[in-house]
Amino acid sequence: MAQATPFLTFQPSRGQSAAEAMTRYLDLFGGEVLSDQRYGPDGPGPEGSVMLAEFTLGGTRVRCSDSFVTHDWTFTPAVSLWVTADSEDELRRWFDGLADGGHVTMPVDDYGFGLFGWVDDAFGVSWQLALGG
């Protein structure tokens, strides 16, 4: 059976860091680091940067890495992570934590389909946060 896993490619040359992003996400949402492989002194990436890591976010496995190659692209809000909160307080805490250093696309409000907010975090990853199912 095929399994799809979100993969986040961070570019340190653009000020992005997979390790910092993982820490922020785990602090906000909980979860755990399943694996964390770092480059050593022999590269090819900078020593200590993330070669490949996997963590859980709301029960979903997410993989990430630090690309030592600078790409012409970066994250786009056309693809985002949707996370459902159990309470308004939880949704607002997540939103505020992700908005810190990021960009608010849609502030938390009821847009006719329930409480919702859309934010690009400080690393450029786009998040849609909703209350309930």
Q: Is residue 33 part of a domain?
A: yes
> What's the whole-model pTM score?
0.92
| Residue 105: domain span | 81-131
pLDDT at position 1 is: 84
**Does residue 88 share a domain with residue 46?**
no
How many Å apart are CA 41 and CA 44, to the nearest integer?
Answer: 8
pLDDT at position 8 is: 98
What's the pLDDT tens digit per position in 57-71?
Answer: 989 999 999 999 999
**Does residue 87 share a domain with residue 111?**
yes
pLDDT at position 67 is: 97
The list of the chain residues with pLDDT below 70 reads 133
Instruction: Reduce the DSSP state of residue 30 to 3 states and report it.
Output: coil
| Closest-CA residue to 95 (of 117, 112, 80) | 117
pLDDT at position 133 is: 60
Q: Is residue 54 part of a domain?
A: yes
Residue 78's Cβ-count burial label (10 Å; 0-12, 13-18, 19+) is exposed
- Site of tokens 């002194």: 41
Question: How many domains is the chain built from?
Answer: 2
pLDDT at position 43 is: 85
